[in-house]
Every structure is written in C-alpha cells, then in structure tokens.
Structure 1
Amino acid sequence: MDIKTKDYSVCYDTTTWTVDWQGSLRLSGSDEYAPIVDLLEQVTESQPPSITLNLRHLEFLNSSGISMLSKFVIKVRQKKNISVVVQGSQKIPWQGKSLKNLQRLMPTLKLELE
C-alpha cells in the first residue's frame, strides 16, 4: 500500500507494520487527505499488534494533516489491542510540539524523537 506524489509519499510495509512518511504534506482539508486516511484504515483493519508511524523524513505537515493523524490515533486507541509507535526527528521544528500532543490523545503511544 503506497501513495506517492512529487511532493510526498506514504508507504506501508506489511512485514514491519511501519508506515513511512516522506516529503511535505500541504493538502487542503479532509477530502485531499482521504487516500491517506484510507491507507491508515486498511492498516488498522488488518489488526497488527503494533503500528509504527515513521515521520522522521516528513519535513512539513499542515494543520489538516495533524488533525488527520490525531483522528487516527484516537481510532486506534479505541481498538485497545494495537500499540502505536511514532518516530520523529527533533531537527524538524513542527514534530517536537505536535507529536507530543498525540501522547495526550493516547497515553500508551510510544514517542521516539531522535
């Protein structure tokens, strides 16, 4: 399951249960984020024991994207049988503050900032 454009890519590795994000996501609104939401829903429906979101190479995510990620974390939290690991980079300014907020939504979420 991959989504690739000239600006960004979101790719799911079924062997490691990892969603790799790269580039810059500046989409406007939930309609444009729908393909990514669909990919994340497919990942969740496959019931992996853990889902890793590797955001280390995602240079930019706008407020619509942060909202989409937050909704995903809330959905997974309700499942109770899937753990979430979010990998980020302290070198990318938006990640430090925004990714910590995901832990507030799901206290069991493991945040790895390098």
Structure 2
Amino acid sequence: MSSETDHEVCGMSVAIDVVGGKWKLHLMWALEAGPQRFGRLRKLLTGVSEKVLAENLRQLEAGGVVHREVFAEIPPRVEYSLTPLGEELRLALRPLEQWGDRHRRRLLDNLASAG
C-alpha cells in the first residue's frame, strides 16, 4: 500500500493550497497590473481587513508566487509583485476567469436560487 499524499498524486492539490481561500485569487488579479503597494491592494480588494490581506500576501510570498520588495526610503516603501512562477500561475488561471465571464449570469442565477 502506498503512503502518497494528495500532493504527491495530484498537482491540483498543490495549486489549490497555493491559491485557495477567498482573497488569494483576487490578489493575483490585482497584481496582474504590476507592482502594488499594500494600501493600493487594500483599496482594490474592498472588504478585506489589513490582517487578512497581510496574511494572504505572506502565504503567497511563502509559496513563491508573490515577491515583496522593501525600498530603503524614509518612510519605507514596500511593493508586491508577481514572481515568474506567479505570472505563470496567473496565465494558467486565465481560462478559469474566462469561463466565469462566459457563464456569469447562469452561475449567479443558480447560486441565487440555491440560497
């Protein structure tokens, strides 16, 4: 009997661990436009708390998807951007976004009638 974990069997499990949760995919979208400062990300993602935003950025950084750059200025400036790995992931997620756009009305109607 094999002792393989889900991560060893399915790449989808690893990918979901990297981008899972409510805000990580939204962060990927926000960083698509290029480097962003924390305050700008907070404005783009209405409804996210500073704590949750910081946690999600740290997790994406730990996953190698986001780069955090601190500029030696006074006051210090920090920018977040996608790494090459993050950019590749963003491109891989593009078809999912397009699918959602194509089926938006039906999906929203289905969710509304189920709730």
Which of the five TM-score ranges fits, normalised by the shorter chain?
Answer: under 0.3
Would you tell me which structure has more helix in proportion to its own residues?
Answer: 2
Report which of the two structures shows the higher radius of gyration computed on alpha carbons: 2
- Alignment TM-score, normalising by the size of structure 1: 0.26
